Amino acid sequence: MLVLTRLIGEKLVIGNEVIIEVLAINGDTVRLGISAPRETSVHRYEIFAEIQAANQAASQATSGPALPNVIETLAARLRAREETEDKD
């Protein structure tokens, strides 16, 4: 990991387009300003990590010996609900 020391008002640049500025430091809290192209997504790491974990859990949807029965049941319930709504 690259470690850099910056003062308030100083900046970092990542690649050619992402600029991060240290705006303020208050106790344990650092306030950062980020300039990035609109197509570059910027998230707090906790949110990124939560979604990554959710994606990893979902990506194994069709693995595991007991799961085909669960998928079959879920699909049947969803189909039944669709049919009920069509009748309504």
* Binding stretches for another protein (CB under 8 A): 38-39, 41, 43, 47-63, 66-68, 70-75, 77-82, 84
Q: What DSSP state is assigned to residue 4? A: -
What element of type H or E holds 83?
A: helix 67-87
Measured from the CB atom, the residue of 25 and 80 that comes closer to another protein is 80
CA–CA gap between residue 42 and residue 52 (Å, rounded): 14
Residue whose entry in the numeric block shows the structure tokens 């009748």: 87
Q: How far is the CB of 7 from another protein (least distance, A)?
A: 30
Measured from the CB atom, the residue of 10 and 72 that comes closer to another protein is 72
Measured from the CB atom, the residue of 26 and 84 that comes closer to another protein is 84
